[in-house]
C-alpha cells in the first residue's frame, strides 16, 4: 500500500478494461499493472493507461510487490486456478462472474481466501443497480408481505460473431464457459433471484440450443421452488432478437414490484398511505436506470468495494460463499434438464 492507496492490477483485458477504468479513476487506488497474453489487447491497454506496467506472464504479475489487488477477468473456467495462485502470492482478488464453473473449483477459491488471510470478492455487480436496494429493502422489511412468487427472464440476443470475437475462443463451450445463456449471460439474474426470493429448494428445467452454432444451450426455462414455499419461473436466452429486457418481478401477499435490469417499472404496496403517489415517487427516483445513480454502480462499485474491503478491513459485498449460491442453482438447472427430473438443492 503506497500513500494509503491500494496498488491495483487487472488480469485479462476484455471486460477487464472496465475494471482497469474503475481502478484508474478510483481515489483510493493506483492502477499499477495490466496483464494479458494477447499482445494487441495489452498494448491497447498500455496506450490508454500510460505509466501502467504491462505483463504478458502471470507469474511476473503476482511477483510484483507494488500490487495489492488483482481483478481476475479470464475466461470463466480459469478463474479458480488464477485466483488461487494470486491469493497464495498474498494478493487480494476480485473475481469476475461466475466465480468459476464447478462448485469444487469455487470452493478452492473460498478455502484459499481463508488460509491466505486475503480478501476475495466476486463481481456480481447487478446487485448495485439503482433499483435493487429499494426492492431488497421492501422485501426484507416485510412491506411486500409473504413472498408468493416471482418471474425472472433474461431475453437477450447474441450474434455468432460474439462467440468468436475473443483472442481465446471459450464462449459457448462447456469446458470454459460452463454453459451458455444461463451460466454466462444470466448468472447475474440467478444471483438476484436467490438474493430477493431466498434459499431455493428445487429446480425443474428444460434447456435447448435453438439458434447458435455453439456447444452449450441458448435457452433455458425453469420452475424454481424456494424453502419458504414461494415459486419462481425463470427463463434465459440469447435468441431474443434484437435483445430485449431483463424481467425481475416479485409478488407478495401485500404488494407487487416489477423491474427491468436497472429500472423500477411497477411499485404497488398495500400498506401505502397513498399507493399511487408512492409509486409515482419511486418510479421518478428509480425508474430511469443507473444513469441517475448518485454513487458508483456496476463494475466501478465492485472495484471500489474490493478496494475499501482491503483498506478498511471488511468483507467484500459478494464473498465466494455468496457467489457459490448462484453457481449451485445454475448447475442444478443443467442437471435437471439433462436428467429430465426435479433436482433438489
Ligand X SMILES: NC(=O)c1ccc[n+]([C@@H]2O[C@H](COP(=O)([O-])OP(=O)(O)OC[C@H]3O[C@@H](n4cnc5c(N)ncnc54)[C@H](O)[C@@H]3O)[C@@H](O)[C@H]2O)c1
**Contacting ligand X (CB under 6 A), which of 8, 49, 58, 156?**
58
* Residue 305 is a binding residue for ligand X (CB under 6 A): no
Q: Is residue 73 a contact point for ligand X (CB under 6 A)? A: yes
Residues in the chain, total: 345
Nearest residue relative to ligand X (C-beta): 14
Instruction: Give, as ranges, the residues between 196 and 215 that touch ligand X (CB under 6 A).
Output: none
Is 140 buried (19+), middle (13-18) or exposed (0-12) by CB count in 10 A?
exposed
Does residue 301 touch ligand X according to CB under 6 A? no
Binding residue (CB under 6 A) for ligand X from 15, 44, 293, 311: 15
Q: Does 24 bind ligand X (CB under 6 A)?
A: no
- Please pick, from the candidates 23, 29, 32, 75, the single residue that binds ligand X as defined by CB under 6 A: 75
> Of 30, 32, 33, 36, which one interacts with ligand X (CB under 6 A)?
36
Q: Report the residue from 115, 159, 166, 253 that binds ligand X according to the rule CB under 6 A.
A: 166
How many residues bind ligand X (CB under 6 A)? The answer is 24
Cα 306 to Cα 121: distance, rounded to the nearest angstrom: 6
Cβ proximity of 233 and 152 under 8 Å: yes
Of 144 and 327, the one with the shorter C-beta distance to ligand X is 327
- For residue 174, state whether it binds ligand X (rule: CB under 6 A): no
Q: Does position 191 bind ligand X by CB under 6 A? A: no
Q: Which listed residue (90, 142, 160, 167) binds ligand X by CB under 6 A?
A: 167
Selected binder of ligand X within 52, 92, 128, 184 (CB under 6 A): 184
Classify residue 199 as exposed, middle or buried by CB count within 10 Å of its CB (0-12, 13-18, 19+).
exposed
Please choose, out of 14-22, 150-158, 278-286, 308-316, the segment that lies near ligand X by the rule CB under 6 A.
14-22
In what order do the strands lie in the sheet containing 231-237? 264-269, 255-259, 246-252, 147-155, 231-237, 219-226, 200-208, 343-344
- Check residue 219 for interaction with ligand X (CB under 6 A): no
Residue span binding ligand X (CB under 6 A) among the ranges 7-15, 190-198, 241-249, 312-320: 7-15
Interface residue with ligand X among 97, 158, 263, 325 (CB under 6 A) is 97
Closer by beta carbon to ligand X, 103 or else 206: 103
Regarding 35 and contact with ligand X (CB under 6 A), the answer is: yes
Residue 74 found at the interface with ligand X (CB under 6 A): yes
Minimum distance from residue 188 beta carbon to ligand X (Å): 7
Residue 259 interacting with ligand X (CB under 6 A): no
Choices 6-14, 232-240, 268-276, 326-334; region in contact with ligand X by CB under 6 A: 6-14
Stretch that binds ligand X, among 69-77, 225-233, 282-290, 333-341 (CB under 6 A): 69-77
Is residue 96 a contact residue for ligand X (CB under 6 A)?
yes
Site of interaction with ligand X (CB under 6 A): 11-16, 35-38, 41, 58, 73-76, 96-97, 123, 125, 166-168, 184
Amino acid at each position: 500500500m503506497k500513500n494509503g492507496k491500494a496498488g491495483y492490477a487487472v488480469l485479462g483485458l476484455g471486460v477487464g478494461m472496465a475494471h482497469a477504468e474503475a481502478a484508474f479513476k478510483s481515489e483510493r487506488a493506483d492502477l499499477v499493472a495490466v496483464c494479458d497474453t494477447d499482445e494487441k489487447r495489452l498494448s491497447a491497454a498500455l496506450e490508454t493507461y500510460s505509466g501502467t506496467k504491462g505483463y504478458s506472464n502471470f507469474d511476473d504479475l503476482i511477483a510484483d510487490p507494488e500490487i495489492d489487488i488483482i481483478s481476475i477477468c479470464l475466461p470463466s473456467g480459469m478463474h479458480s486456478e488464477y485466483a488461487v495462485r494470486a491469493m497464495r502470492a498474498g494478493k487480494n482478488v476480485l473475481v469476475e462472474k461466475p466465480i468459476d464453473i464447478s462448485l469444487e473449483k469455487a470452493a478452492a477459491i473460498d478455502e484459499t481466501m481463508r488460509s491466505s488471510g486475503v480478501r476475495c470478492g466476486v463481481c456480481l455487480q447487478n446487485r448495485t443497480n439503482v433499483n435493487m436496494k429499494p426492492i431488497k429493502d421492501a422485501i426484507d422489511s416485510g412491506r411486500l408481505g409473504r413472498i408468493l412468487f416471482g418471474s425472472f427472464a433474461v431475453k437477450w440476443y447474441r450474434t455468432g460473431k460474439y462467440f468468436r470475437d475473443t483472442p481465446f475462443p471459450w464462449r459457448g463451450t462447456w469446458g470454459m464457459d460452463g454453459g451458455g445463456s444461463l451460466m454466462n449471460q444470466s448468472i447475474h439474474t440467478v444471483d438476484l433471484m436467490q438474493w430477493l426470493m431466498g434459499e431455493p429448494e428445487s429446480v425443474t428445467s428444460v434447456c435447448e440450443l435453438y439458434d447458435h452454432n455453439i456447444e452449450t444451450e441458448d435457452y433455458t426455462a425453469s420452475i424454481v421452488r424456494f424453502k419458504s414455499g414461494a415459486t419462481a419461473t425463470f427463463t434465459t436466452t440469447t435468441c431474443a432478437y434484437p435483445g430485449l429486457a431483463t424481467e425481475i418481478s416479485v409478488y407478495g401477499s401485500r404488494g407487487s414490484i416489477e423491474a427491468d435490469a436497472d429500472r423500477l417499472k411497477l411499485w404497488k404496496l398495500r400498506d401505502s398511505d397513498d399507493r399511487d403517489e408512492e409509486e409515482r415517487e419511486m418510479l421518478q427516483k428509480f425508474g430511469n436506470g443507473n444513469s441517475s445513480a448518485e454513487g458508483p454502480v456496476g463494475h466501478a462499485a465492485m472495484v471500489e468495494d474490493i478496494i475499501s474491503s482491503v483498506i478498511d478491513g471488511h468483507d467484500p459485498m459478494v464473498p465466494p460463499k455468496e457467489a457459490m449460491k448462484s453457481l449451485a442453482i445454475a448447475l442444478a438447472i443443467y442437471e435437471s434438464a439433462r436428467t429430465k427430473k426435479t433436482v433438489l438443492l
